């Protein structure tokens, strides 16, 4: 395995780890914001609560959009970081 393949694999693994961490942080932020705004936790798919359909749809849309956006931004940031590291390694 050459250096470029190793760097590519490292960037993929780091990108996946950062994306998972970003999704977890976004999910926690959504839970905190939902509780602050409504006074109770956001509805979850496995809850037997009495949340209405509009509340379920709003929670799903908000969490899906923010988690997806955070994962995309984290992945792009990791890719950018990996390319800067590779550029710096090549110039030395």
- pLDDT tens digits for range 12-47: 788 888 888 888 898 899 889 989 988 888 887 777
- pTM exceeds 0.85 for this model: no
- pLDDT for 18 equals 85
Residue of 48 and 40 predicted with greater confidence:
40
CB atoms within 10 A of CB 92: 4
């Amino acid at each position: 395995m050459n250096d470029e393949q190793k760097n590519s694999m490292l960037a993929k693994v780091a990108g996946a780890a950062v994306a998972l961490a970003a999704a977890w942080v976004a999910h926690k932020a959504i839970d905190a914001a939902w509780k602050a705004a409504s006074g109770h936790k956001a509805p979850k798919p496995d809850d037997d609560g009495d949340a209405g359909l509009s509340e379920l749809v709003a929670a799903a849309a908000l969490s899906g959009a923010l988690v997806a956006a955070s994962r995309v931004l984290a992945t792009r940031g990791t890719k950018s970081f990996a390319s800067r590291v590779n550029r710096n390694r090549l110039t030395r």
